[in-house]
Structure formats: structure tokens, C-alpha cells
Amino acid sequence: MKKALKIILGLILTVIIIVFGFIIYDRITSDNTYTISEKNLKIPIFVYHDIVENEDEVEFDYMQISKETFEEQILGLMKLGYKPISYEELIAYSKGDIAISKKSFLITFDDGFDGVYRHAYPFAKKYNIPITSFIINNYIGKEGYFSWKDAREMDKSGVVSIYSHSLKHDEYNKYLSQDLLQDVTESLTNIEKELGHDITKVFTYPYGLYNEEGQKLLKENGIVQNLTDNKINKSNKLNIYGLSRMYPLNDPVWKIILKIEYRSIRY
Ligand SMILES: [Zn+2]
């Protein structure tokens, strides 16, 4: 009996030492940076839609997040060593040109809602955090969406990147690839015209709907593509022409981290 107790205590102690060892190792290496060939990194891309002032305005968990919860998520992750990066950095990393932090992640907003300009942008500016807004050209300036004037201001700040979420937010998996290419090209060209400079060609499929033929044609035209599949990118099979994105929802930081770890093992 005594011997069994000793073994159990020994096992518990071993587990505690391993867990603490892991946490300490994680903390002391959190500033380490790696190039794409050096280490297999998990690179989550967060997909948000609108930011609202108060908790009670959150109607759907995947569509709205309160300003407070959003800030808690991002600052909480950063406190634990997570580093927000831009698409420019992700692309340069994918080509082997730069090293990135081992806990890099990206913050994206779909559709171009007003809350991005009103809440995400001031926060991003205050903490110098790169964020990305995927806009729908035909919706910009309409009720509930920010305007081109807002877009230009955010773009000038250097913390917000504006990329394409198509001209009209259709189900593009049903499109002929030529028609998809035309829509996305027109959307990107229009953004460049409105912002007054060239942009990196980045596109996000509305509703995450795509087909392989369209994806291939956009890739041939050098267009970086985002899906909405709730998975985590891993650098050993990083595909910038089919990037995975996950929903942080209105979750607390610990739950987001668990999801990142779980999904990177599962997929
Ligand atoms: Zn959308």
C-alpha cells in the first residue's frame, strides 16, 4: 500500500515538473524568431467581423465581438508572448526572406464594418498592432460599413492593411474561374485607385466558399487567398494560396490557446 502511494506521488510530481518545465521553456523562448525552414510554427489567422461598443450588442458570436473582449483577447495573447504580424510579413516569411516570432498570429476583419474604423483602428494605432480589413467594394460607405475616407485614413496610419473580400460578396464557388478572377482583380484595382497606391494582392473568399479551379487561377495570377475553415496554418505546409483562418469568437484567452493547440494537432 505504501509503495503504491509513493509511485502515485512520484508520478504526480513528474507531471508537475514536466508542465512547469514546458511553461518556463515557453516563456524564455517566446522572443525567439525562426525562418520558415528552421522550425515548424503554428500560425493562426483570426477572423473577426464587427466590433461593438457593448456586450449586449453581440448578436452572433462569430459576427460581433465587444470592444472590451477584443482588447482583452489581443493584449492577453501578447502578454503571453504572441506577436501580431501583417500579411506582408507572412508572405516574406513564406518566401524565406524573414524570420518571425515563434508565436506569430494575424488579425483580420471581414466585410468592412464600421466597428473596424471606430474600435479596432484606434486600438491598433495605440498599441502599434498590424490588422487587416477585407472589404467588399460595393458595400463600402453604406450604412454599417466604413467609407473610403475612413479606409484612406486607416491605410495612411500604417497599422491597417485593406485588401479584397470581392466586389459583391457572392457565392464565388459557383463562378467560372475567369469570372472570379475578373471580380477579384477589379476589386483589388479599385482599392488601389481609392488608396492611391499599389497593394499586395490578398483576397478572402466570402463565406469561405471556393473551388479548386478558381483557387488555381488566382494562384497563377499571384493572388494570396484566405479561407474560413477554422484551422491553424503550420509552416511546414504553409500555403499562401489557401490560408486557414480560425474564429476567436468572444472566447477568453485560455480557450483560444487551447483551440490553437487542439486544432494544430487535429488537422
Ligand atoms: Zn464576408
Please give the distance, rounded to the nearest whole angstrom, from the Cα atom of residue 20 to the centre of ligand 1: 41
Quick one: which H or E segment has residue 121? helix 121-127
Q: What is the pLDDT of residue 88?
A: 98
Tell whether 18 and 126 lie within a shared domain. no
Instruction: Tell me, in angstroms, the distance from the centre of ligand 1 to residue 63's CA.
Output: 10
pLDDT (mean) for 216-234: 97
pLDDT in tens, 126-170: 999 999 999 999 999 999 999 999 999 999 999 999 999 999 999
- pLDDT given at position 118: 97
Cell numbers given for 61: 458570436
Alpha carbon of 171 to ligand 1 centroid (Å)? 10
Quote the CA–CA distance of 245 and 49 in Å, as a whole number: 13
Q: Verify that 7 and 64 share a domain, yes or no.
A: no
For strand 160-164 and strand 131-135, is the pairing parallel, antiparallel, or unpaired? parallel
Whole-number Å distance, alpha carbon 260 to ligand 1 midpoint, is 22
What is the distance in A from the centroid of ligand 1 to the CA of 47? 10
State whether 82 and 162 are in the same domain. yes
CA distance 265 to 244: 14
- For residue 243, give the 3-state DSSP assignment: strand
Ligand 1 centroid, distance to 149 Cα (angstroms): 21
Say how many Å lie between the CA of residue 169 and the centre of ligand 1.
6
pLDDT at 51: 96
Q: How far is the CA of 107 from the centre of ligand 1 (A)?
A: 15
Distance from the CA of 244 to the center of ligand 1, in angstroms? 15
**Are 165 and 135 in contact, with CB atoms under 8 Å apart?**
yes
Residue 253 pLDDT greater than 80, yes or no: yes
Indicate the SS3 state at residue 267: coil
Q: Residue holding cell 515557453? A: 26
Please report the pLDDT score of residue 92 as a whole number: 98
Q: Do 25 and 61 share a structural domain? A: no
- Separation of CA 246 and ligand 1 centre (Å): 14
Q: Say yes or no: 110 and 5 in one domain.
A: no
pLDDT band for position 23 (cuts 50, 70, 90): confident
CATH number at residue 76: 3.20.20.370
101 CA → ligand 1 middle, Å: 29
State in Å: Cα 165 to ligand 1 middle: 7
Query: Could you tell me if 141 and 243 lie in one domain?
Result: yes
Same domain, 251 and 221: yes
Q: What is the mean pLDDT of residues 7-32?
A: 90
In terms of domains, do 138 and 69 share one? yes
Give bridge partners of residue 234 from the DSSP assignment.
Answer: 42
pLDDT score recorded for residue 31: 85
Q: For the segment 172-204, what is each residue's pLDDT rounded down to a tens digit?
A: 999 999 999 999 999 999 999 999 999 999 999
Number of domains in the chain: 2
How much is the pLDDT for 1? 65
- On whether both 9 and 99 belong to a single domain, the answer is no
Instruction: Please give the Cα distance from 139 to 179 (Å, whole number).
Output: 20
Give pLDDT, residue 266.
Answer: 87
Residue 61 CA, ligand 1 centroid: distance in Å: 15
Kindly give the distance from the C-alpha atom of residue 174 to the centroid of ligand 1, in angstroms, as a whole number.
Answer: 16
**Which of 17, 46, 37 has its CA nearest to residue 110?**
46
Which cell goes with 109? 476583419
**Which pLDDT value is given to residue 2?**
83
227 and 103 within one domain: yes
The identity of residue 31, as a single letter, is D
Residue 63 sits at φ, ψ, to 5 deg, of -100, -35
Ligand 1 midpoint to CA 81 (Å): 30
Q: What is the pLDDT of residue 132?
A: 98
Largest CA distance in the chain: 79
- Rounded CA-CA distance 194/71 in Å is 29
pTM (predicted TM-score): 0.93
Q: What is the pLDDT of residues 62-113, one digit of tens each?
A: 899 999 999 999 999 999 999 999 999 999 999 999 999 999 999 999 999 9
Q: Which structural domain, as residue segments, surrounds residue 221?
A: 36-266
Grade residue 27 by pLDDT with cuts at 50, 70 and 90: confident
Integer Cα distance of 78 and 44 in angstroms:
14
What number is the average pLDDT over the span 223-252? 97
Residues 220, 180: one domain?
yes
Same domain, 15 and 72: no
Residue with cell 518545465: 21
